[in-house]
Homo-oligomer: A and B are copies of this chain.
């Protein structure tokens, strides 16, 4: 921790692909952020429906999504799929690869996307040198943990309506950072089948459930955009409490009021 790691501290450098991403803002100090940006590999552009990582395929890179959507998924022998995480811009797709050689899931890019990779060994070395980076990795892992726990509750104990509503609440919060404002709208490039694979349902039933939500004025869809006209009511139906998304734009304000 005594040596100056980067030459970039004083010199102007081209704005890295990570600049401004939610991923980067998980790291608190400029020094840490610059160290990470220096370790990042060039941007990759990916087409829809490409596997960034096949199930069980080893990798030595961490992938951060800059643009587009992806997912982590697992499959069963009979071919049915469960999406275990939706990866949106600013998310890391495979944090597990940092410490486990062989991921037990696949990572698929769902839309046109751009990613940036960081070699695992570089990331590990940075975590070793900067305690803040190591802690940020732990925080990211624990954050995924909280989302997965919430999904377990939804998958195990909630109706199709509630699951769908909960997912929309979660995405609204993660994507727009909204805080129960009454009207939220965002791009949702998932097919009904992908929604079904996320929620543990079939696409047919997702379709019918969506119609119910539309009929009750809780959801509007147009093109690939979804609008939530009455977030409070949707949250009530889903029993959604954003506290589990420890991240989010306004969360840290609880710790130090000097943000935003």
Task: Give a binary string over A97-123; 1 marks a CB under 8 Å from any B CB, 0 the rest.
Answer: 011111011000000000000000000
Q: Does A135 contact B (CB under 8 A)?
A: yes
Contact of A96 among B82, B124, B145, B199 (CB under 8 A): B145
Query: How far is B77's CA from A201's CA once the two chains are assembled, in angstroms?
Result: 22
A131 to B76 Cα, complex, angstroms: 37
Q: Which of A138, A148, A158, A239 has the most CB of B within 10 A?
A: A138
Per-residue CB contact flags for chain A residues 216-260 toward chain B (1 = under 8 Å, else 0) read 000000000000000000000001010110100000001100000
Beyond A127-B135, A131-B128, whether A153 also contacts B74 by CB under 8 A is yes
Q: Copy number in this complex? A: 2
Q: Is B146 a contact partner of A100 (Cβ separation < 8 A)?
A: yes
Chain B residues whose CB sits within 8 angstroms of the CB of A157 once the complex forms:
76, 80-82, 200
Q: A139 — which chain B residues lie within 8 A by C-beta?
A: 99
- Closest approach, in angstroms, between the C-beta of A234 and any C-beta of chain B? 15
* A177 on the B face (CB < 8 A): no
Check if A156 is an interface residue, CB within 8 A of chain B. Answer: yes
Chain A: interface residue total (CB-CB under 8 A): 52
Which one, B77, B131, B138, contacts A141 given CB within 8 A? B138
A150 interface residue (CB < 8 Å to B) = yes
Closest to A133 in B: B134
A37 at the interface (CB under 8 A from B): no
Residue contacts A-B, CB under 8 angstroms, 14 given: A56-B243, A74-B149, A74-B152, A74-B153, A82-B152, A84-B152, A85-B149, A100-B246, A104-B150, A134-B135, A138-B138, A141-B141, A155-B155, A156-B200
Q: A148-B149, A152-B200 are in contact. List 7 more A-B contacts (CB 8 A).
A: A74-B150, A76-B157, A82-B153, A104-B241, A127-B131, A134-B134, A138-B141
